[in-house]
Amino acid sequence: MKLVIIEKEDFLKGSLNNLELINNSLILKKGYLSGIYESEEIENNKFKKIVASWNVNTTKDASVEIKVSFYKNDKWSMWFSYGKWSNNGLNEGSIVKQHDDLGKISIDTINVKNGFSEVLKVKVIFKRKNSKLESPLLRRIILSSFKEFENIDCKLTDIDIEVPKISQMLIPEIGKSICSPTSLTMLINNYKYLKDAYDVSQSCFDNGAGIYGNWSYNMAYASEIGFKSYVRFCENADIFIKYVSSGIPVAASIKTADNDVLKGAPQSYPSGHLLVIRGFSTNGNPQIIVNDPASKEVENVKRYYDFSEFLKVWNKVIYVLELEK
């Protein structure tokens, strides 16, 4: 379960076609409408899932398409595509029915069939409609893989980060569907930005799947406004504990069958849900402090959930936002 980060001079280890590395970012060479970056083969620990994130700057007329392949049974899988990404909701969206005998992709997650892989590679296709237009710019690619979850003893520290509270339920028409971009907006605003959850939702919308909750697209949007942002699978809870304990709140994916599974939740989340982890309390039974955007009133967005109950409903996935250095 290694976090693979490709950035700066790492790009030069792969192949560049009609691209150049300028100020640590890949862009199209002058005069070219398209270009391709392909990484070297990347050895990883055994994994059965991969999720890709990319940190970019694009426009409506300039896009990037991220593709990932893995090696298994003495051959490479197909190139699984994340679709053409452009900022401001102008993406072409994720692509359905991508599968072969080695694996398949479900919106944002690539799944290895019947076992594991240990080697992968990534390809990025750059395009712009006119050679006089600004090139798409790629700062980094982050690949997170997952094999299995390990239950370990976790030591919690009392901390509560004052993450701004937002209720998705107060946003007309789309409120019930935007837990992911609403949680992302809370993370963004924690860094003193002033983003509106509705506007963030429109920029994150996956025009292929017709959803707001594409994990990779949410992180791509955050990168467009200046963050180092990525989706991360976690092999144990200590991963997100370390982020939060160091002052970095994260968003987490959960799923619950009914309200009794996570006591104190405003509703059940049988289709999945995103919320923000802002801290921990060790007073009595260990608790996790969250901003749950499904709360109908802003004043009730901040909630305390039993830590052990939370771990049972957590999907072992988090969003991480860090300021670019």
Residues 36 and 104 in one domain: yes
Tell me, yes or no, whether 138 and 179 share the same domain: no
pLDDT in tens, the chain (325 residues): 579 999 999 999 999 999 999 999 999 999 999 999 999 999 999 999 999 999 999 998 999 999 999 999 999 999 999 999 999 999 999 999 999 999 999 999 999 999 999 999 999 999 999 999 999 999 999 999 999 998 888 889 999 999 999 999 999 999 999 999 999 999 999 999 999 999 999 999 999 999 999 999 999 999 999 999 999 999 999 999 999 999 999 999 999 987 778 999 999 999 999 999 999 999 889 999 999 999 999 999 999 999 999 999 999 999 999 999 8
Same-domain pairing of 133 and 242: no
Q: Are residues 308 and 170 in the same domain?
A: yes
The pLDDT score that the predictor gives to residue 257 is 84
Q: Is position 226 within any domain?
A: yes
pLDDT, residue 188, reads 98
Number of domains forming the structure of the chain:
2
Same domain, 164 and 300: yes
Residues 50 and 108 in one domain: yes
What pLDDT was estimated at residue 215?
Answer: 98
Does 225 lie in the same domain as 84?
Answer: no
Specify if 153 maps to a domain. Answer: no
Q: What is the pLDDT of residue 1?
A: 58
Instruction: Flag whether 38 is in a domain.
Output: yes
Domain boundary among 146, 176, 198: 146
Last residue of a domain, one of 113, 146, 179: 146
**Structural domain boundaries enclosing 200:** 159-323
- Pick from 125, 146, 167: which residue ends a domain? 146
We report the CATH number of the domain holding residue 21 as 2.60.120.260
The predicted pLDDT at position 89 comes to 93
38 and 129 both lie in a single domain:
yes
Same domain, 225 and 119: no
Same domain, yes or no, for 201 and 232?
A: yes
7 in any annotated domain = yes
Residue 152 covered by a domain: no
* Assigned domain for 20 exists: yes
Q: The domain that contains 295 carries what CATH number?
A: 3.90.70.10
Residue 232, CA atoms < 13 Å, CB-side half-sphere: 23
151 occurs within a structural domain: no
Residue 134 shares a structural domain with residue 216: no
Is residue 154 in some structural domain?
no
Question: Are residues 184 and 296 located together in one domain of the fold?
Answer: yes
pLDDT value, residue 325? 80
